[in-house]
Chains A and B, each alone.
Chain A
Amino acid sequence: MIALAPSKADEAFATLLPADASPSERASFAQFRQAGLPSRRVESWHYSDLRARLRTVPPLAAAPDDASLSVARGKLGASARLRIVTVDGFYAPDLSDDVSKIAGVAIASARETDFLGAAADPLLDLNAALSRGGFVLDIAAGARIDPVIEIVALTGAQTDRSRFGRNLIRLGAKARAQIVETRDEGFAGFGDSALFIELGEDAQLDHACRCRETAGVELQSFTATLAARAKLRSVALLAQTPFLRRQYFVSLAGEGAQLHLGGAAVLGRNDHADVTLVVRHDAPHGLSRETFKYVLADHANGVFQGKITVPPHAQKTDGKMMCRGLLLSDEAALSAKPELEIFADDVACGHGAAVTKLDAQNLFYLETRGIPTIEAEKILIDAFAADVFDALESEVLRDLLRVDLSEILGEETLV
Chain B
Amino acid sequence: MLEIENLHVSIAGKKILNGLTLTVEDGQVAAIMGPNGSGKSTLSYVVAGRADYEVEQGSIRLDGIDLLRKSAAERAALGLFLVFQYPLEIPGVATMTFLKAAINAQRRARGESDLPIPDFMKQVRAAAQKLDISQDMLKRPVNVGFSGGEKKRMEILQMALLEPRFAILDEMDSGLDIDALKTCAEGVNALRGKDRGLLVITHYQRLLDFISPDIVHVMSRGKIVKSGGPELALALEASGYAEYAEGAAA
Chain A residues within CB distance 8 Å of chain B: 360-362, 364-373, 375-376, 379-380, 382-384, 386-387, 414-415
B105 contacts the other chain (Cβ, under 8 Å)? yes
Q: Give CA–CA (A364, B84) in the complex, Å.
A: 11
Q: Give CA–CA (A366, B158) in the complex, Å.
A: 11
State whether A387 touches B73 (Cβ < 8 A): no
Checking A369, A383, A384, A414 against B76 with a beta-carbon cut-off of 8 angstroms, the contacting residue is A369
Q: Give CA–CA (A414, B104) in the complex, Å.
A: 11
Q: B residues 115-161 with Cβ under 8 Å of A?
A: 117, 141, 158
Checking B48, B50, B87, B94 against A415 with a beta-carbon cut-off of 8 angstroms, the contacting residue is B94
Shortest Cβ-Cβ A-B pairs, 5 listed: A383-B92, A370-B76, A369-B102, A367-B72, A370-B106
Give the distance to chain B from A358, nearest Cβ to Cβ, in Å: 11
CB-CB < 8 A to A384: which residues of B?
A: 92
Give the distance to chain B from A150, nearest Cβ to Cβ, in Å: 27
CB-CB < 8 A to B76: which residues of A?
A: 367-370
Q: Give CA–CA (A281, B109) in the complex, Å.
A: 55
Q: A373-B71, A379-B98, A415-B97 are in contact. Are A368 and B92 (CB under 8 A)?
A: no
Q: Give CA–CA (A365, B45) in the complex, Å.
A: 10
State whether B102 touches A371 (Cβ < 8 A): yes
State whether B97 touches A371 (Cβ < 8 A): no
State whether B88 touches A383 (Cβ < 8 A): no
- 25 example contacts (A-B, Cβ-Cβ < 8 A) are as follows A361-B88, A362-B90, A364-B50, A364-B51, A365-B90, A367-B76, A368-B48, A368-B49, A368-B73, A368-B75, A368-B84, A369-B98, A369-B106, A369-B162, A370-B73, A370-B102, A371-B73, A372-B73, A379-B97, A380-B90, A383-B90, A383-B92, A383-B93, A387-B92, A415-B117
State whether B73 touches A376 (Cβ < 8 A): yes
Q: Give CA–CA (A383, B52) in the complex, Å.
A: 25
Q: Give CA–CA (A70, B173) in the complex, Å.
A: 67
B100 contacts the other chain (Cβ, under 8 Å)? yes
CB-CB < 8 A to A386: which residues of B?
A: 92
Q: Give CA–CA (A365, B144) in the complex, Å.
A: 14
Q: Give CA–CA (A305, B52) in the complex, Å.
A: 37
CB-CB < 8 A to A365: which residues of B?
A: 84, 87-88, 90
State whether B105 touches A372 (Cβ < 8 A): yes
State whether B93 touches A367 (Cβ < 8 A): no
Give the distance to chain B from A402, nearest Cβ to Cβ, in Å: 11
Tally chain B residues at the interface, Cβ within 8 Å: 34
Q: Given A364-B72, A368-B49, A383-B90, 12 more contacts at CB 8 Å?
A: A367-B72, A368-B48, A368-B72, A368-B76, A368-B84, A369-B76, A369-B98, A369-B101, A373-B71, A375-B105, A379-B97, A387-B91
B82 contacts the other chain (Cβ, under 8 Å)? yes
- Residue of B50, B101, B109 with most partner-chain A CB within 10 A: B101
Give the distance to chain A from B36, nearest Cβ to Cβ, in Å: 21
CB-CB < 8 A to A375: which residues of B?
A: 101, 105
State whether B92 touches A367 (Cβ < 8 A): no
Q: Give CA–CA (A360, B45) in the complex, Å.
A: 13
Q: Give CA–CA (A380, B98) in the complex, Å.
A: 10
Give the distance to chain A from B149, nearest Cβ to Cβ, in Å: 18
B77 contacts the other chain (Cβ, under 8 Å)? yes
- Name the CB-closest residue of B to A381: B92
Give the distance to chain A from B145, nearest Cβ to Cβ, in Å: 15
B96 contacts the other chain (Cβ, under 8 Å)? yes
State whether A370 touches B77 (Cβ < 8 A): yes
- Name the CB-closest residue of A to B50: A364
State whether B100 touches A415 (Cβ < 8 A): yes
State whether A362 touches B88 (Cβ < 8 A): yes
Q: A364-B50, A365-B84 are in contact. Are A371 and B90 (CB under 8 A)?
A: no
CB-CB < 8 A to A361: which residues of B?
A: 88
State whether B105 touches A380 (Cβ < 8 A): no
CB-CB < 8 A to B101: which residues of A?
A: 366, 369, 371, 375, 379, 414
Checking A362, A369, A387 against B158 with a beta-carbon cut-off of 8 angstroms, the contacting residue is A369
CB-CB < 8 A to A383: which residues of B?
A: 90-93, 141
CB-CB < 8 A to B75: which residues of A?
A: 368
CB-CB < 8 A to B141: which residues of A?
A: 383
CB-CB < 8 A to B84: which residues of A?
A: 365, 368
CB-CB < 8 A to A364: which residues of B?
A: 48, 50-51, 72
CB-CB < 8 A to B88: which residues of A?
A: 361-362, 365
- Name the CB-closest residue of A to B89: A362
Q: Mark B58-99, 1 if CB is under 8 A from A, else 0.
A: 000000000000011101110001101001101111101110
State whether A414 touches B97 (Cβ < 8 A): yes
Q: Give CA–CA (A361, B142) in the complex, Å.
A: 14
Q: A365-B88, A383-B91 are in contact. Are A370 and B48 (CB under 8 A)?
A: no
Q: Give CA–CA (A354, B75) in the complex, Å.
A: 35
Give the distance to chain B from A391, nearest Cβ to Cβ, in Å: 14
